[in-house]
Amino acid sequence: MNKTKIKIFSLSGLLILGGAFAFIYKRGILDFTSIPIVAIVAIVALLVAAITIGVAISSRKKLEQSQSTLPQIETDFSPIPKSRQDTCYFCDFPIENHAEFCSNCGNKITYCNVCKLPISFGDKVGMCDLCETKGHFSHLFEWVKINGSCPHCLQQIPSEAITEIS
């Protein structure tokens, strides 16, 4: 149960209780006939509040239990070493940081859709079968294995739908 619903139930209980007391005050009398009404309304308001709190506590416990029983997914997002020189995927020419095109062959620099770093010559490249987006094979494969969808087109695909290209 989310916080908004808990607030609504709590406010409902308070409104019921307040309404009962306003009713008695408006009548201007406090006799034996109004005391049972006030008692019943107060009990109902307390029950609504107690049920709301109980539901909130049990919901939180269930959430904590479900999070603790989730399998821990080991990722293999192999980091790209910072000391390595990025090269053009097509001609192996060194590329400048954030370059859009290779200054040697003129091809557009290909960036990994997961880690956002350039895909260099000789890197293992994976491609989504649906939208043909490219990325480092291990990054794209792990992304789809964990999230179940392509990071670019967001379509649901199995990890086997990541094709290794050369």
For 94, which DSSP code?
A: B
Tell me the pLDDT tens digit for each residue of 41-59: 777 777 777 777 777 777 7
Tell me the pLDDT tens digit for each residue of 156-166: 988 888 888 86
Crossing angle (nearest 10°) for helices 3-27 and 35-69: 170
The angle formed by the CA atoms of residues 61, 62 and 63, to the nearest 5 degrees, is 90
Q: What is the pLDDT of residue 101?
A: 92
The CATH number of the structural domain formed by 86-166 is: 3.30.40.10
pLDDT mean values, one per 10 residues, the chain (166 residues): 63 68 66 66 74 75 65 50 75 86 90 89 89 90 89 88 82
Q: What is the pLDDT of residue 125?
A: 92
Q: State how far the alpha carbon of 47 is from the alpha carbons of 19, 34, 96, in Å.
A: 16, 20, 68
- Domain-wise residue ranges, the chain: 3-69, 86-166
